[in-house]
A and B are shown apart, each in its own frame.
Chain A
Amino acid sequence: MTTASLSLYEKRKGVYPKAVDGFYRRLKWAVMAVTLAIYWITPWLRWDRGPYAPDQAVLIDLAHRRFYMFAIEIWPHEFYYVAGLLVMAGVGLFLVTSAVGRAWCGYACPQTVWTDLYQHVERLIDGDRNAQIRLDKAPWTAGKIARRVAKWSVWLVIAFGTGGAWIFYFADAPTLQHQFWSGTAASVAYATVAVLTATTFILGGFMREQVCIYMCPWPRIQTAMLDEKSLVVTYKHWRGERRGSLKKAQAAPTEFGDCIDCDQCVAVCPTGIDIRQGPQIGCITCALCIDACDKVMRQVGRPRGLIDYCTEDDANAEKAGRAPRPVIRSLLHVRTLVYLTLWSAVGAAMLFALGTRTRMDISAQQDRNPVAMRLSDGTIRNAFTVKLRNMESRPRPMRVTVEGLAGVSLWTDRDGRADARTAIDTVVPPDSVAKLRLFLAAPAHGPQRQDFAFTVRATDREGGADHEPAHFERLQ
């Protein structure tokens, strides 16, 4: 302790997690396969949207300000869907934490998944834990250099694949890939790939658990969110203590608990902690120590679960010799149900809004300078900038009329008042907003500020309409 207190800065302690097999390790394999597959395959899925829209299933088209996700197309004015998704993601994290503790950290977090992948590469090239420790301490011989170069190269390839896949979410993937290799892609694409390759390489290869412990805010938030009903990886000290080797335990069976102090739980831990010290911020609940301990317990003929997922309530019950509550009871406690309700409500509201949203829209902005002016025949003219939004991926004929304003005539800046009429017909191009400058002339007698409404009707077979309230203002 004295030496530690003399140093302002602490060198990173090497973490060399040992390979392990078991239920949770296989679960982690499965989650890794699914999440990586989603990440790498998604941009290449196609989705037919007709001739006027891109055919990429998931596309964040920043240049044209559209977000496509299979059958859903989001426009910038519908950003509240994205806000809703973020709310769902946030509440979803709370929900998962409340139900199964830090499962996100242990299984699905990209930092965990890529670190896991990098560690497998490390084992393939450097060997398992002991070989890695030896190699780290070894002098820089040709063999060590060769292994380092090999490992870092594979890491770099994975990092490049990771950074490279990211950009395909923002442009047509096959086109961009061709542009990327032929050197004609936008410079922002190369910069993005370079930055993400570097961060993946550094965070997955070298920073690893340091990210979880020092950089990520989520473990700190989790600390506040966990309670006595949260599933955490627990070393059952009342069963394990006092620790002792198998030999000692055989010599004096009554003095020793189940833990044979083999340190396998520490050896397999990807964040390098000792779970037997109790819950701590470094524990991402990946449960690999459970796999390791279960294997040892099986070998020494003791029941599994010396280290296990367990809530504090269950731990106390087990300590006192009571039967733990069934898992379903701990999963369905009030806080979880409240989060679930909240999460489902946001999801249902978004689905409802998506199902009932209109695919056409009119908005009108009145000229404020001048608001109203007299024409030579004594009538009063107001001017509006009217925007017609066509969210279908085909051109649509639309007719704009004015309701609630007697004796009004309309014309646009493309024709003159000589062509004034009572309805303006136009064709709005697919997937776009058409802008019309409309001039409205109405008799001078009437209220100084008169409410009326613009109406747009699609004049094709499908029809549809939208209204926009507005005011007609007269001179005093």
Chain B
Amino acid sequence: MADPTKSKIDQPTGTPTMGHEWDGIEELDTPLPRWWLWTFYACILFSLGYVIAYPAWPLIEGYTKGALGWSSRGDLAKAMATQAAKVAPIHRAIAATPIDQLPAKPALMQAAVDGGRAAFKVHCVQCHGSGAAGSKGYPNLNDDDWLWGGDLATIEKTIVDGIRNPDHAETRLSIMPAFGRDQLLQAAQVNDVVAHVRTISGQQKGDAASQRGAQLFADNCAVCHGPAGKGNRQLGAPNLTDGIWLYGGDGDSLHQTVWNSRQGVMPRWGDRLDAATVRMLAAYVHSLGGGEAAPVMAVDNVAGEASDARP
């Protein structure tokens, strides 16, 4: 507030000035409207009420809690509880629907896929990757190559019982011998078998080695992988003639595989997750593009045949 004795009156407006001047520019001392003062007081009153009602003052260990007891964590907990209550009936419905009947209920199936996508991000991405594309030793779940089968029920069983859990009777179990390490085959013989596998998978032309390997394959490998090397899902034996290799299809990787055998492990999720979550995970994995229809009857399903190139 300018000293009234010093302030000048601005002639055009009749308003006193603040009494200072910058390069001939002076500041008018226009009084604020009175209602502005009232709104200012109203804001102070509001802030008093706010400080009493809500968390406000930081203390040395903690803070003032406010009369309403509101907290952002409490808000979050409430929101989470509301969401949980909202999805609970959906989870119950999914848990009560056998998985082969899910596709007949498109809304429930979609809910299962969406829920599975969320659960996958928590439980599965550590090995299979966030896009379910896997990596060496961890199967890509987007493709159409399945060790144990790609229909909904089979995927669900794989998730429930896991793979190679020695303490679990129902687990998926396929044990390929370590042909080299256990001296079932000589080093040269392993090379011949690898040459044969690379021939039937179309990666190299047949030669003398692969012809020697063919006989070794028939004697040692065909019992699981089939005479043509097309695998066997009942045994979890991979198809050796397709374009997909879990551990690599080059000579060195195949040699390692035959010499030492490969035995990847997946936990049995039936012990860790509830039925609805497992079912949702199965629906999500099935939806990634490689899902198969349930087999009409137990046939000797040969991987690769169903996916013959179409025009």
Contact = CB atoms under 8 A, between A and B. Distances in A.
Q: Do A and B come from one complex?
A: yes
Interface of A: 1-2, 4-12, 207, 210, 214, 367-370, 373-379, 381, 383, 407, 409, 413-414, 416-418, 420, 422, 437, 439, 444
Contacts of B292: 416, 418
Contacts of B16: 1, 4-5
B63 interface: no
Given A373-B143, A418-B293, A10 B308 contact: no
Contacts of A416: 291-293
Given A4-B31, A10-B32, A374 B9 contact: no
Contacts of A379: 309
Interface string B285-311: 001111111000000000110111111
23 contacts: A1-B9, A1-B14, A5-B29, A10-B31, A10-B34, A12-B33, A12-B34, A210-B33, A210-B35, A214-B33, A369-B130, A370-B131, A370-B142, A376-B144, A376-B145, A376-B239, A376-B242, A409-B311, A413-B113, A413-B287, A413-B288, A417-B306, A437-B287
Contacts of B144: 375-376, 417
Contacts of A367: 131
Contacts of A6: 4
Contact of A378 (B36, B133, B243): B243
Nearest to A210: B33
A373 B113 CA distance: 21
Contacts of A414: 106
A207 B35 contact: yes
Contacts of B2: 5
Contact of A9 (B33, B291, B303, B307): B33
Given A5-B16, A9-B36, A375 B29 contact: no
Interface residues of B, number: 47
B7 interface: yes
Given A214-B36, A373-B140, A373-B142, A8 B133 contact: no
A207 B38 CA distance: 13
A383 B289 CA distance: 8
B306 A418 contact: yes
Given A370-B140, A376-B145, A416-B291, 17 more contacts: A1-B14, A2-B4, A5-B2, A5-B29, A7-B31, A10-B33, A370-B131, A374-B243, A375-B145, A376-B239, A376-B303, A378-B243, A379-B309, A381-B142, A409-B311, A413-B291, A414-B106
Contact of B304 (A370, A377, A407, A420): A377
A111 to B, nearest CB: 16
A367 B117 CA distance: 14
B48 interface: no
A377 B308 contact: yes
Contacts of A2: 4
B37 interface: yes
Contacts of A214: 33, 36
Contacts of A368: 131
A409 B140 CA distance: 21
B143 A8 contact: no
B4 A376 contact: no
Nearest to A422: B311
Interface in B117-161: 129-131, 133, 140, 142-145
B41 to A, nearest CB: 11
B25 interface: no
A430 B19 CA distance: 70
A369 B310 contact: no
A381 B133 contact: no
